[in-house]
Amino acid sequence: MLSIERNLQAAERVGKSHNRPRSLAFYGKGGVGKSTVVSNLTAALAHKGRRVLQIGCDPKRDSSRNLIKTFPPTTLMDLLSVGKTDLVPADILMDGGENVECIEVGGPKPGVGCAGRGLGRLFEELETMEIFDRGYDYVFYDVLGDVVCGGFAVPMRDGYAEEVYVVTSGEFMSLYAANNIARGIANYAEQGDIRMGGLIANVKDLAFDRALIEKFAARIGTHVVWYLEWNKIVYEAERRRKTVLRYAPEHAFAQEWLEMADAIEKQAKPHIPHPMSDTELDVFLEELFGIQAED
């Protein structure tokens, strides 16, 4: 009954506005560089003249750190915790620079309460304030870790994010998380329009990791949208709370983000992945890493 109700709600949202922005959710193993990827991609699309709303869905409230002018941000959960009611867009929208606005959901103090609950409340507030009708070209959801159940699955489960991109490296646990997220996408795809956009590889050694990730992508029925190889300029920019494009626009790595933005804009129709079971994944990864080691 609950899934039927969610499908009806999603259909109602589509019926209200067929001109809503393109909505993308970014998942991945914790520490894989997801927020770095999202904020730099946001800045690149904004540089191309696109209006972007970036929504940080992590209680650490650090998704927008490299975009907003003041830090730490005021979060939705901060406002709700002090009894703030009748919220308006100005209460939660933060200036992320030209063509960019940001929202941080926030969450309870570590060890207290459920961080995922804030996401359910977020979408209630966004609908009430008609945030999605403010003329954005893109809405990005930067979602905590590799969690695809409970509150953190809301963007894909309830039809707010139409495309899911998984940020991964070539490490075992990162690929394990990517497969787990693909399983969540496949499950929710049966209930609605959520689809997988592809993988974004964020690696330290492209020569070593590329073949691994390509084989993994082919095995689960997806593809790699873009490869990013570690570059010191990212650290230099983040120490100053900036994206690469805004910190060093002439740097070669700044061009990488613009090209990645082009790739996202030209993406083929999103698809339903075919993830492996835990047993299949374990065998596949053991064989994959074994072959790589022998090579």
Name the token pair of 293: 């080691």
E strand or H helix that includes residue 263: helix 252-265
| Catalytic site includes residue 16 | no
Q: What's the pLDDT at 5?
A: 45
Domain containing residue 49? 2-294
**CA 262 from centre of chain:** 17
Q: How many domains does the chain have?
A: 1
The catalytic residue among 29, 58, 209, 242 is 29
| Catalytic site includes residue 34 | yes
E strand or H helix that includes residue 188: helix 172-189
Q: Taking each helix axis from N to C terminus, what angle separates 172-189 and 278-294, rounded to the nearest 10 degrees?
A: 140
User: Is residue 2's pLDDT more than 50?
Assistant: no
| Catalytic site includes residue 204 | no
| Catalytic site includes residue 60 | yes
Q: What is the pLDDT of residues 11-30, one digit of tens each?
A: 454 444 457 899 999 999 98
Please choose, from the candidates 285, 255, 216, the residue with its C-alpha nearest in 3D space to the C-alpha of residue 48: 255
The catalytic residue among 58, 142, 146, 209 is 146
Prediction pTM value: 0.88
Q: What is the pLDDT of residues 50-106, one digit of tens each?
A: 999 999 988 888 999 999 988 889 899 899 888 888 999 999 999 999 999 999 998
The catalytic residue among 16, 48, 58, 60 is 60
Distance CA 134, CA 124 (A): 16
- Asked whether the beta carbons of 199 and 34 are under 8 A apart, the reply is no
Q: What's the pLDDT at 148?
A: 57
Q: Residue 258: which CATH number?
A: 3.40.50.300
